[in-house]
Structure formats: C-alpha cells, structure tokens
Structure 1
Amino acid sequence: MSAVALGYPLPTLLNWSGEFNRPEWHFAGSHIAKLESLLAVIEEMLSRDDVDGGADDDDLAVLVDAYDIWFQLPPSVLIQRYHQLNNEANQRLRKQWQASAHQASTSSSSSSSSSSSSNNFPIPPPKQSIIVTTAKDCQPDSESGSNPHYTHWPSSPMPPDLYGPETDTILPLLFDPARKYKKIRPRCINSGMIMGTMSSLRQVLRRCKRKIASVALSGRQLWSDQALLGEVLGDQEIWREWVTQQLSSSWNGSASRYDLTLLSPEVRDIATKALLGEQFEFGIGLDYSFATIPATCSAEEDGYFVKLNDANAVRAESLKAGVPDGPRIHTIPKELVKAKDDRGGPLSQTSWGNVPLYTDFYFGVVPVGIHHNAYIDGLKPWRLSNWWKLMWFYPRLRDLVAAQLQPPSGDGSVADLKPLLNMSSHGNGGEQDLVYWPPQTQRSKKQVTVFEPAQGERPARLVPIAWDGVCQKGSTPWYEALFGDGKGPLEV
C-alpha cells in the first residue's frame, strides 16, 4: 500500500499461497524460495518480448520482504540513490585496483617495461550493479548451511567515529542480542531489500541456485536466503582479494607471479576455480549508508519521525538518539528536491520539509523505506501496529492510492506516460540520459499481480489480484485497518 501510494509500479507478489511446510528444512522452504522465485520471474520476463510482459536486461528489479517493509519516499529517489551508491562503490573499487597496481610497479625493477606494468593489467576493476541492504550483526554464519566468509568482507566506508568513540565496539549487553551491536558500522548483509538490473540479478540468482543444488546433493539443506546470498558475496570478496593482493600486485607487465600454496584454504579454493574459468564477480555491493531501506534491528533508537524544516525538532531528536556531535541532517535531501512532480501528479503538492519523515540521525539520512525488523521488547509488532499512523502519507492515503491506481490517459503509449525518473534532467553520477518508465504491463491497467510459475503445459503468468484478495488478515476490514477514515471500501 505504501508503494502504491508513492507511485511505484504496482508490486508483483512471489510465493503467494505457497506451501513451505517442510519441518526438516527449518526455514529453508520459505527463505530459499524467496531467491528461487525471484529468479523464476526474472527468467520468465527476460524471455518475453510481448507487450503483456517482458523486460530488458537493464530494467531494474527490487525485491523486498512482504510483511515488515514500508516505503516513505517515491521511486525516483530510490533509483537516484541506487546509481549514487553504485558510483561511490565503483570509485572505491578503482582506487583499490589502482593501489594494487601501484604496489606492483613500485615493487618491480625500475626498468621502463616494469614501470608501465600497472597500466596493462588485464582484469579491470568491477562495476557494481546490485545493492543489498546491510546489517550490523554478521548473521547467520555456517550454521545456516552457507558460509559467507565474513572475515574477508571489506570494512564499512562510513566515518570511523560514526557512533562516537565506541564505534565498532560490541557493547557488553549479554541479555540484549540486538542492542549490543548498536555501535557497529553496518558491513554485513541483510536481505530485506535486493535491487539490481534484471541481467545482473539473473546471474547472481543462477549462482545461488547452483549452490542450492550442490548442497542438496550432499544431503544437507540451506535455511537462510540471507546467508546464501552472503556466501555468493563472500566468494566475490575473496576473488577480489586474490586478484588485487596476488595477481595485480605481482603483475610485471606480461604475467603475475603467484603461489597458490601460500594462500589460505578458502582463498586457494576460489583462486583455483577462477583459474579454470568459474565466475565469482557479480557486481554485488551493500548499502553502507542506510540510504535505501535499512534494517532497524540494532538501530532501535537511532531514528524517528521528524519534519526536516523544524530545526529544533531535528536537534531534539538527534540528542534523544544520542548522536554525539549534534544534528547531521539540516535540509531536505537533494533527491527529494528533484522529485518534485512537475506534471501535476498526486505527490506534486507535498512539501517534503513539512511532513514527518523517518530519519536515521546517526547517518543523517532519510531512507527510502523502513525495515521493521527491530524485535527486542516486542518492538516489531508494536511498531507495525502503532507507527503506520505516523507515516507522512497516512492522512492522505486513500486519496493517494486512488489517484495512483488511475490508468494512464490516452492509449498507454509512451507519450501519455509519466516516467518514474528522467535522469537527463536530474543528472546523477554521469548517467545523464537514462529514462525509467513503468512496466509495459501497467501502461494500460494498474493491478497488483501474483506470479504463478509454469505448471505442466500452462506457461508462467502474472495473475491480477484484488485488494480484498491481498489484505486478508484479521477481522477488521483491510480498508479500515489501513485507511482508518471510516469511509468504507476503496473506490477507484
């Protein structure tokens, strides 16, 4: 409902009415199906070229958890931050490659051929195209059936004093398994949101599927999609480590001098397979800055709702959160300034500085959404029940949803559509001429759909589902639970 109100393409539900009753699998049925179903729908859409479905390699896909994530900012902000995070990661990777090449040139002989060796290393720095949200606690580990090799993951690029002098210190809170990580800069994986291009996600998810099959053949099960994806990311980080610390740093202009026997077992395993042609680089990276949809677990008191134009309120909430050096956010995010709807859309009258926005005061950021996985002291169910009315759009929710569900005027051609984002006018990190459009399926009719995989001779399909079919929980009618305005069912 929050996504619809903000103008996102209407969601496709995966594993709707799925059956995961496999006790011996622990959480494997539902957790692993999260990644398998995303692969299935991506494979299906990339194989189509009809107007009723289909997608292109560079189209963006966003996978979010179903029950505990709310959006608060429009899709243009999410897309801009996706590109910004990728550009920042690409800069870090270029510096890492350059530093390794410099090490090679300074450690080699002073001949002219050796001094130019750093310029022709045949493996270019990777480019990031997938973003996953982060966690402060590196869990789960090998007990899940997967081994993410967290020790090989890079440190957070955020300031080393982000949480003050105790930054990156695990607090001695023996009976509080979440808050003891409060001061840790997030550098591990949380799979609450996964975002990337269709083609890059397909590659990663195929890799996950091969790992699932391999584990199944050995008689074991995996129970965590987070750890499984983390293992693919961990393999990638080990590969990058080997390339920069062994190959690039010993490159003499024509070859690298490396000794596999000197490597740790996990690095040697990846290096051996890479030399035989196996792919480990997938362009996966993390949202270190909490810009997208950060987890609130271990950040229970780090954020709250505030009007950014109210400097006194921002200062008071920052103090309440314990930010050591005063407010770190002083103005509306630039992406929101650029998000102004200049074609009279439902959000065009929103004064972003004067509506309450959930803000993380340590990062000084208004995230695109909130992941309600803060569970200590029953916070998750309490916030899901009590914070909905604090969302900025709540007083206008019925009208926003009804307006966003209106079909496009005209015949549904591009000329009649409003893009989600036109980066030729907004500009962001060199991506100057990208225009993001709603999916083909929503250019004539806006409906929530359920992905049904192929069965027998019946092909896979996207089946429309009504709100009465989606919102079934509890005895209170869904429109009263969500709108709370006493106006009855939604009319579009």
Structure 2
Amino acid sequence: MPLGVIWEMILRSNSRSNLVLLVSIGLGLVLILGYLFSSHDAFRERLQGVAPSLSKPSSDAQASEDEASESLGGVVSPPRTDKLHVLLPASNPEVNLCKTLMSASILGYPTPTLIAWNETFDTSYLLGGGSHVAKITKVLEYLEAMPSSQDNELVLMMDAYGAFNLYDNPGNKATHMEADIWFQLRPETFIDRYYSINKAANKRLQKRLGSAVEAEGVQQTIIFGAGKRCAPNQVHTVACYPIPESPLPADLYGANTDTIMGRNKYTSLRQRYLNSGYIIGPVSDMRKMFRRAQEKVDAIKDQVDWDNGSHGSDFMYHGSDQSIFNSMLGEQEFQREVMRRRHYKSGDTNGKPPPPTYLEGTLIDDPLNPSFTHEPMEHKAGKPDEFGMGLDYFSELGQQTVNAEEDATWIKHTVEPENQIGERHIFACPLRATKKIPKDIGSSRQPFELMAETGEAPAESSWDDIMLYTNICMDQIPVMIHHNGDKGAREYAWPNLWLQPHARKLMDQVLMQEQSSNGGAGGAFTEGNYISWPELCPREMDAELFRDV
C-alpha cells in the first residue's frame, strides 16, 4: 500500500485503535523495505566503517591526514616516508624464491637484500635446521647495522623460507622451506596502505584503551600478517588468550562466524592472530622489537613450564620464529589491558571494559585472568612490553591462504563476480565482491607500464582488465598473496598472476633497466654485493618461471 494512502487514511480516521493499527502497518512496511534493499550495502558500509580508506589522497589531503594522525590521542607518529627496504631471509636459490623476486621486480619494488644467504642450518630437531630461528638473529644484525639517519624509513621483512604451518598442513617438510609470497600490486599502493592501516588501528586503540593511549604513549607502527589460528602456540598461554577481538564484521561468515562450523574448525573464524610471513615498520621500531625477540631466543628453554604435556612447545615450538612474535604480541596485549584498567575512570566514553570473547570456542571471561587453566603474567608498571605491534586484519597488504581457501579467488573486475566464481562450498562466506577497483589501485602505475614504450602491451592492460586475487568475503584486493595453505598453488596458480603470461617481455625490460643502472634491478643484494637475475635464477628455471620453453 502506498505510504501516501496510509497517511490519508490516518488523517481521516476517527478511531484511536485504527490510528495505532495504521501507523504500525506503515512502520512495518518501512522496516521490510529497508531490510530487503540494504543487506549488502549495510555490510559494505560497516566494513568501510572499520577498515581504512582505500582511496589514494591528494598531496594536500595527505598532509592534512598526517597532521591529524600526529595529534591523535596526543601521541606523535613518525613522519611519512616512501623509502622502503625489502629483506628476504633466504639461504639458497630456488624457483619459488625467483617467483617472489620476479613479481617484485616487475612491479617496481626496491631491490631486496637476501638475509643469511649461503648459510647452512642443520640442527636436526628444529624446523629447517634452525633457519626460522636465524631469521630473527640475522634480520636483527641487518637492522643494527643501519645508521640512525634511516630510523624512520620503512623495512619490509618477507619470509622466503616458507610458512610455519606444519600443524595445519603436515605434509612434506621440504615444501615448507621455500618462498611462498607473490606481489600483485604496486609499491605505492603497499606504502599508502601501511599508513592507512595504522591510522585506522590507532583510532581503534583510542576507543579501546581510552586515556591510557596518551598517558602511556601507545600507538601502532608495526604490521604483521593476520591469520585465523594462534599457531603454533598452545591456546592456554599468554601468546593466545589476551589477544583482543577482531575488528572484522561479526557476520563475515554469516551465522557461522567465529564458530567451529566450516570446512574445518578454523575456516569460519575472523582473522585475529599474528602471522609472521611479512612484517613492516620503521627501522627504529623494528630494531627494538627484534632485540626483544632475540632476547627471547637466547632465553628459550628446551622444555617450557606451561606446555600442556604434549611437549609441542619444546625448543621454541621446534624452531618457530612465529611462536616468539606470538608471545610478544600476547604480552603486549596483556599489558595494554593492564594499562586500560590503570587509567580508566567510571564514566569515561572510551576505554570501557571489553566484552567476553571466545578462543576456539572457549570463553575468555577475563583477558587477564580467564577461568580456565592458563599461563599467568605479571601486571607491570609502565610499558616494557609495548612494541607498537598490530595486524593486517583486512588483508590489505597480504592474503593468507591457510584456512581461507574459500575466502579468495582470481577474478576480473569487469565481469560480474557471480559469473566467474561458480558453485561454492556450503560453509563459504556470503559473496560480497563487486566490480569496483579501489582508487589506490586505479591511480597507481598501470600494470604493463614496462611494455608501453615498446608498444607490446596487451590491448586490455588496465587494472580493470586483469585477473587479481581477491578476498570475496570482504571485497578486498591484497597487495601480496601468501601461499601458506595449499603449497601446490605455487605451481598450478602461477599462470593466474597477471604478470606471468607476459613475464619474458616484462623481465627483459627489467633487465634493460639493470644494465642502464649498473645493477640493482631484477637481482638482489647480499652483504653489500649484488647478485644478478641470471645468477639467482638460471636458465634451468625458465620452464617453470616463463612456461614458454
């Protein structure tokens, strides 16, 4: 019934009961129409309300944003910089490392530095012979050698040893020892997102911790990957139970969100826990954090006091650098809650007590003292465990594939997503992908810029035209793809990466830049020396890399 007719009937009505009835009918119609037309848009608005803006601001707008971020909560943030150092812990050449190097080179990332190159790790009871532990030691050595003049510059540490996910995928250990990250977007998009993620995170900290933010000088400057499982650490330890609620929408997987209902008991969980496959932050803050990580490595016990009896935590969870960073994040979040309680006053708008959360179905009624048997921690004065660590919750920097096989896929953004994805699993998230390319991608350098001067660029060569790995639960296009789930995807999905079918011509252009600049494009540095692309990735690898021979 048209609302105008309803209103006319109300005006003519002499009956109070009829009036109430008609008003109720009208309100009911409004609510029904609102529900029918707003479900998808409402989710998008909520997602945008908690996720950082993906727009690339103008220089004036960026300056205003920088000023605003510096005054947020009275905590001064470091100045913005576009200077990026890329570190790749890797000890020997292999084809998956070359895929990482190729994607970075073609997209224009700075020439990476290989950490622990040509070193041998042979401790039998540690993963990779101890290579994962060495990531902490060797990266710290590199950071300590950097001059203080570079303290505000950004450093990205990417795992080229493979992900520590033997608990999720206990297959051939050799598959976990090789690089598993590909780039698909430009470095300018990566850097813009680093700053926007931190800005949004610091606003959330202001709301969550209240006056403790300014009083204690708390802010986020370091970003880790985010995953769905607190692994490999045991869930009753400080590494896991103090971790705060995820900021992702509470209905991300519909009614199954944060339940064990799914393809496995982790697939319907929102990303909430640390993954050390990639870490980015300012040199000074990364140096401080890696120093603490090294202290933990040096102090590690063969057997941990709070092991659950399985001895799974022995020898630093058998040599997992991620277990160390998990512990550090858990300790940081534990002490942040201590700070919140220290500074909270009744009636404060921000910094209110957090609601209960669940850890793999177990109630955490108090993040400092949960009811179940747990590893305790001292309530400390000051902020000795504060390192500005945070997570890439929204997969803006990287998409983890472990426990997320149904969350992301390859799509073109000129074609309706429904027509590309096909039949989905019964526990898959609601499809929310759109045909929109975010502004921070569309305004970046176009994909085939290297081939434009030679006139060899494909006819369809814009970001709208190419296949991009997309999180279809959040309509998010990540900068990187982290193959820490199905390791076989590094082979069968390689042709899906937009640059691979044109890799030969694109790399030819990269290597021409290398010749004109006397090195520094296509290869990598190690201990001050430059190793060229042909040395790192010899012709024997061409069949897999280029697939044109």
TM-score in same-fold range (> 0.5): yes
DSSP-derived class of the 2:278 partner? strand
1:315 and 1:326 in contact (8 A); partners too:
no
- Show the 5 A alignment for 1:423-438: none
DSSP-derived class of the 1:353 partner? coil
- Classify 1:183/1:318 alpha carbon distance in 2 versus 1 (closer, same or farther; 3 Å): farther
- Show the 5 A alignment for 1:264-413: 264=369, 269-272=377-380, 275=381, 279-311=384-416, 313-314=417-418, 316-317=420-421, 320=424, 325-340=430-445, 350-375=461-486, 380-381=487-488, 383-407=489-513
**How many angstroms does 1:398 deviate by?**
2.0
1:242 and 1:267 in contact (8 A); partners too:
no
What is the aligned partner in structure 1 of residue 547 from structure 2?
484
Picking from 118, 123, 126, the partner of 2:216 is 123
2:225 and 2:278 in contact (8 A); partners too:
yes
Q: Which amino acid aligns with 1:23?
A: S
Q: Which amino acid aligns with 2:320?
A: S
| Structure 1 residues 431-469: Cα deviation after superposition (integer angstroms, max 9, x where no partner) | xxxxxxxxxxx9x74363343xxxxxxxxx322223343
In structure 2, stretches of 5+ residues that fail to align are 1-101, 161-178, 305-313, 349-366
**Matches of 1:43 and 1:347 in 2, distance apart?**
41
What is the aligned partner in structure 1 of residue 359 from structure 2?
none
RMSD: 3.4
Q: Which amino acid aligns with 1:359?
A: T
**How many angstroms does 1:214 deviate by?**
1.7
DSSP-derived class of the 1:156 partner? coil
- Show the 5 A alignment for 1:157-236: 157-171=247-261, 179-215=264-300, 221-222=315-316, 223-236=319-332
What is the aligned partner in structure 1 of residue 146 from structure 2?
45
1:39 and 1:202 in contact (8 A); partners too:
yes
**How many angstroms does 1:156 deviate by?**
0.8
- Classify 1:18/1:133 alpha carbon distance in 2 versus 1 (closer, same or farther; 3 Å): same
1:151 and 2:241 equivalent? yes
- Classify 1:403/1:394 alpha carbon distance in 2 versus 1 (closer, same or farther; 3 Å): same
- Classify 1:251/1:216 alpha carbon distance in 2 versus 1 (closer, same or farther; 3 Å): farther
Picking from 464, 480, 483, the partner of 2:530 is 464
- Classify 1:407/1:45 alpha carbon distance in 2 versus 1 (closer, same or farther; 3 Å): farther
**How many angstroms does 1:341 deviate by?**
5.5
**Matches of 1:234 and 1:70 in 2, distance apart?**
29
- Classify 1:401/1:169 alpha carbon distance in 2 versus 1 (closer, same or farther; 3 Å): same
**How many angstroms does 1:228 deviate by?**
0.4
1:449 and 1:462 in contact (8 A); partners too:
no
**How many angstroms does 1:306 deviate by?**
0.9
- Classify 1:226/1:324 alpha carbon distance in 2 versus 1 (closer, same or farther; 3 Å): closer
**How many angstroms does 1:7 deviate by?**
0.8
Q: Which amino acid aligns with 1:36?
A: T
Q: Which amino acid aligns with 2:130?
A: G
1:28 and 1:221 in contact (8 A); partners too:
no
What is the aligned partner in structure 2 of residue 91 from structure 1?
203
Q: Which amino acid aligns with 1:402?
A: D
**Matches of 1:77 and 1:263 in 2, distance apart?**
38
**How many angstroms does 1:241 deviate by?**
0.5
- Classify 1:407/1:263 alpha carbon distance in 2 versus 1 (closer, same or farther; 3 Å): closer
**How many angstroms does 1:339 deviate by?**
0.4
**How many angstroms does 1:87 deviate by?**
0.8
**Matches of 1:36 and 1:299 in 2, distance apart?**
31
Percent of paired sites with the same residue:
32
Q: Which amino acid aligns with 2:158?
A: V
**Matches of 1:364 and 1:263 in 2, distance apart?**
35
The structure, 1 or 2, with the larger RCO (C-alpha pairs under 8 Å, 6+ apart) is 1
- Classify 1:310/1:30 alpha carbon distance in 2 versus 1 (closer, same or farther; 3 Å): same
In structure 1, stretches of 5+ residues that fail to align are 48-54, 102-117, 174-178, 253-261, 413-441, 452-460, 487-492
What is the aligned partner in structure 1 of residue 117 from structure 2?
16
Q: Which amino acid aligns with 1:449?
A: A
**How many angstroms does 1:336 deviate by?**
0.7
DSSP-derived class of the 1:226 partner? helix
2:103 and 2:183 in contact (8 A); partners too:
yes
**How many angstroms does 1:343 deviate by?**
13
**Matches of 2:341 and 2:441 in 1, distance apart?**
41
**Matches of 2:368 and 2:287 in 1, distance apart?**
31
1:73 and 2:185 equivalent? yes
Q: Which amino acid aligns with 2:379?
A: A
Q: Which amino acid aligns with 1:35?
A: I
Aligned length: 391
**How many angstroms does 1:485 deviate by?**
2.4
Larger Rg: 2
2:252 and 2:473 in contact (8 A); partners too:
yes
**Matches of 1:206 and 1:188 in 2, distance apart?**
22
**Matches of 2:336 and 2:344 in 1, distance apart?**
10
DSSP-derived class of the 2:224 partner? strand
DSSP-derived class of the 1:24 partner? coil
- Classify 1:237/1:44 alpha carbon distance in 2 versus 1 (closer, same or farther; 3 Å): same
Q: Which amino acid aligns with 1:202?
A: R
**Matches of 1:40 and 1:318 in 2, distance apart?**
49
**How many angstroms does 1:347 deviate by?**
7.5
**Matches of 1:384 and 1:33 in 2, distance apart?**
25
**Matches of 1:201 and 1:46 in 2, distance apart?**
13
**Matches of 1:304 and 1:182 in 2, distance apart?**
15
**Matches of 1:368 and 1:12 in 2, distance apart?**
20
2:262 and 2:268 in contact (8 A); partners too:
no
**Matches of 1:121 and 1:131 in 2, distance apart?**
21
2:431 and 2:473 in contact (8 A); partners too:
no
2:209 and 2:337 in contact (8 A); partners too:
no
Q: TM-score, normalised by structure 1?
A: 0.71
**Matches of 2:124 and 2:109 in 1, distance apart?**
36
**Matches of 2:273 and 2:214 in 1, distance apart?**
30
- Classify 1:341/1:317 alpha carbon distance in 2 versus 1 (closer, same or farther; 3 Å): closer
1:235 and 1:270 in contact (8 A); partners too:
no
DSSP-derived class of the 1:221 partner? helix
Stretch deviating more after TM superposition (201-210 or 315-324)? 315-324
Q: TM-score, normalised by structure 2?
A: 0.64
2:226 and 2:392 in contact (8 A); partners too:
yes
1:135 and 1:186 in contact (8 A); partners too:
yes
1:2 and 1:71 in contact (8 A); partners too:
yes
Q: Which amino acid aligns with 2:267?
A: K
Stretch deviating more after TM superposition (3-12 or 17-26)? 17-26
**Matches of 1:366 and 1:471 in 2, distance apart?**
29
- Classify 1:204/1:468 alpha carbon distance in 2 versus 1 (closer, same or farther; 3 Å): same
- Classify 1:188/1:347 alpha carbon distance in 2 versus 1 (closer, same or farther; 3 Å): farther
| Structure 1 residues 125-183: Cα deviation after superposition (integer angstroms, max 9, x where no partner) | x221111011111111149xx9553111111101000011100111376xxxxx33111
- Classify 1:346/1:10 alpha carbon distance in 2 versus 1 (closer, same or farther; 3 Å): farther
**How many angstroms does 1:197 deviate by?**
1.2
